């Protein structure tokens, strides 16, 4: 009879000890901060003995006032680099890492891929200079990947199709090159692709029309070529199709008229021939169809 409370106490106690041994949240957060330069002292309460609980530190959010779930340091004029950021991956419940709009430089560390619980990874609007690590394809809880407005180069990893939870892929304004990976067809939850202002080349892969949740497809200001695949008509939820300033050619497929939710379409500054298909109608909120290079059919 007296066994039960004793066992209960032992189980609770050992869980606490195990967790205590594994992570000291204070140490992990301070390790991450060590390579950041906080000129304006926005992080003044980090490691301040008056604030022993890191859940009370600026930019930190916790579950139950005990487990860090979010590190959001947005627009704080932070400099330095992310070399020690993978320490955060030892925070067992971390789901949001957002350092958008700072001046953080250096590479995107591949070891951030150890943060397997991440649902939001936002490194946008910084000065990061590296490739997109292939290891990121292992972040299989990721819903939002924001890397826009950095100096990232080289190809979008071919394995991007492994991120099957992905809903928003926002990577515009970098120096990304190469093809749009056909594996993108695996991303059935993907609602938003914003990949404009890069150096992407090759065709718009027909596989993109298997991303049935797509609402926004933004690929403007790249070097994409070939036809606009008529299979785009499968994207019944598409509201926004922004493809201006590429090298797309051929006729604009009449099938786009089947995307009945389209509100905005920008196809100008390409090499399309023929006219605007009458199926496109005129009832959309905005039509950016000006400045076409229309070559008369012979």
Ligand X SMILES: *[C@@H]1O[C@H](CO)[C@@H](O)[C@H](O)[C@H]1NC(C)=O
What residue ranges bind ligand X (CB under 6 A)? 20, 24, 26-27, 35, 44-45, 48, 50, 63-64, 67, 72, 74, 80-81, 83, 86, 98, 100, 106, 111, 114, 120, 122, 134, 137-138, 144, 146, 151, 159, 162, 173-175, 212-213, 233, 237, 254-255, 257-258, 279
Cβ distance to ligand X smaller for residue 61 or 291: 61
Nearest-approach distance from CB 1 to ligand X, in angstroms:
28
Cβ distance to ligand X smaller for residue 45 or 268: 45
Cβ distance to ligand X smaller for residue 9 or 293: 9
Nearest-approach distance from CB 24 to ligand X, in angstroms:
4
Cβ distance to ligand X smaller for residue 160 or 266: 160
Nearest-approach distance from CB 105 to ligand X, in angstroms:
7
Cβ distance to ligand X smaller for residue 103 or 258: 258
Nearest-approach distance from CB 11 to ligand X, in angstroms:
15
Cβ distance to ligand X smaller for residue 95 or 298: 95
Nearest-approach distance from CB 293 to ligand X, in angstroms:
23
Nearest-approach distance from CB 174 to ligand X, in angstroms:
6
As a three-state string, the secondary structure of the chain is CCHHHHHHHHHHHHHHHHHHHHCCHHHHHHHHHCCEEECCCCCCCCCCCCCCCHHHCCCEEEECCCEEEEEECCCCCEEEECCCHHHHHHCCCCCEEECCCCCCEECCCHHHHHCCCCCEEECCCCEECCCCCHHHHHCCCCCEEECCCCCCEEECCHHHHHCCCCCEEECCCCEEEECCCHHHHHCCCCCEEECCCCEEEECCCHHHHHCCCCCEEECCCCEEEECCCHHHHHCCCCCEEECCCCEEEEECCHHHHHCCCCCEEECCCCEEECCCCHHHCCCCCEEECCCCCCCCCC
């Amino acid at each position: 009879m007296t066994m039960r409370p004793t066992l209960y106490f032992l189980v609770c106690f050992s869980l606490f000890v195990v967790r205590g041994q594994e992570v000291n949240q204070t140490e992990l957060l301070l390790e991450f901060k060590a390579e950041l330069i906080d000129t304006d002292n926005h992080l003044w309460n980090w490691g301040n003995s008056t604030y022993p609980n890191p859940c009370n530190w600026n930019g930190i959010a916790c579950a139950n006032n005990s487990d860090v779930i979010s590190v959001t340091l947005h627009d704080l004029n932070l400099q330095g680099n992310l070399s020690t950021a993978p320490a955060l991956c030892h925070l067992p419940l971390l789901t949001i890492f957002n350092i958008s709009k700072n001046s953080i430089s250096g590479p995107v560390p591949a070891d951030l891929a150890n943060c397997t619980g991440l649902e939001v990874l936002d490194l946008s609007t910084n000065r990061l200079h590296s490739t997109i690590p292939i290891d990121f394809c292992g972040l299989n809880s990721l819903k939002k990947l924001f890397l826009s407005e950095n100096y990232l180069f080289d190809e979008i990893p071919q394995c991007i199709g492994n991120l099957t939870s992905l809903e928003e892929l926002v990577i515009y304004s970098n120096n990304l090159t190469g093809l749009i990976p056909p594996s993108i067809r695996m991303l059935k939850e993907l609602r938003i692709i914003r990949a404009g202002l890069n150096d992407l080349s090759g065709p718009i892969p027909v596989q993109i029309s298997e991303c049935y949740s797509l609402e926004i497809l933004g690929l403007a200001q790249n070097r994409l070529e070939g036809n606009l695949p008529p299979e785009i008509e499968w994207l019944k939820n598409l509201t926004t199709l922004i493809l201006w300033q590429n090298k797309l050619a051929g006729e604009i497929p009449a099938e786009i008229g089947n995307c009945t939710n389209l509100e905005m379409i920008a196809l100008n500054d390409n090499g399309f021939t023929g006219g605007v298909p009458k199926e496109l109608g005129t009832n959309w909120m905005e039509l950016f169809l000006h400045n076409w290079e229309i070559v008369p059919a012979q």
